[in-house]
Amino acid sequence: MPVPYRPEVPGRLMGRTALVTGGSRGIGRAIALALAAEGAAVAVNYRTGREQADEVVAEIAAAGGRAIALGADVADFGAVEAMVGRVVDELGGLQIVVNNAGISRDGLLYAMQPEDWLDVMRVNFGGTFNCTKAAMAHLMAQRDGVIVNVSSVMGERGWTGQCNYAASKAAINAFTRCSAIELARFGIRVNAVLPGFAPTDLVAGVMSREDGKGVRRQIPMRAFAQLDEVARAVTFLAGPDAAYMTGSLMTVDGGAAAALGVGASL
């Protein structure tokens, strides 16, 4: 777990405000807690998990931090615009945007329905586009901002049953590079973290087979990523130690992307 935030020990993100989409559970929850541990005020976005988001906010507040829960569907640009406005109004600013919200609709391409493709693209890539677009004017005006997109190694490699999900993450990777180029002159950095297999609901089906042994054998470090390990990578990119990094895709996958795999559980 991330080191608890202690107000008497200033963190690297003191005075900064972050918006974390999909922050009520899984990797998003871990990111929200990690950013708060470094002193950031955090807006925890959710779509349906209000109770879980409130629990994250309560945990941050109990440790001495500031946080609010904001419901919004990231696939709806109008809802995202309103959410960004609330972050600025209620937390006093916005410097860090973490585009983490995502869904999966796994299945073989032959059986995949058009809505399986479109829903994944609307949320995963559409949400990243919408949140970036909605926050741009504010970040550009202050000439200060960091955007961290949570992508996946699936966007760089292939895997059985992942055509729609992998394509959405590949789009995020390309979008990260292009938006980094456009926004650099405004003092805004854009990077992406590419997790490998981590214990989240999105990959529960794959990891549940034989306790994930088939997948784990294809990872050089022979272990799945822990949520806080992904969160620490996001926190690094959001902070001053990554001040000269933009347009980068950082893998957190135990070496999986470096290996030649078969794209399916063995």
Residues 6+ apart with CB under 8 A from 128: 99, 149, 172, 175
Judge whether 11 and 37 are in contact, CB under 8 Å: yes
Question: How many residues in total does the chain contain?
Answer: 266
Which are the catalytic amino acids? 165
Q: How far is CA 26 from CA 12, 22, 89, 103, 262, in A?
A: 23, 8, 27, 12, 27
Q: Order of strands, edge to edge, in the sheet holding 145-150?
A: 67-71, 41-46, 17-20, 96-99, 145-150, 188-195, 249-252
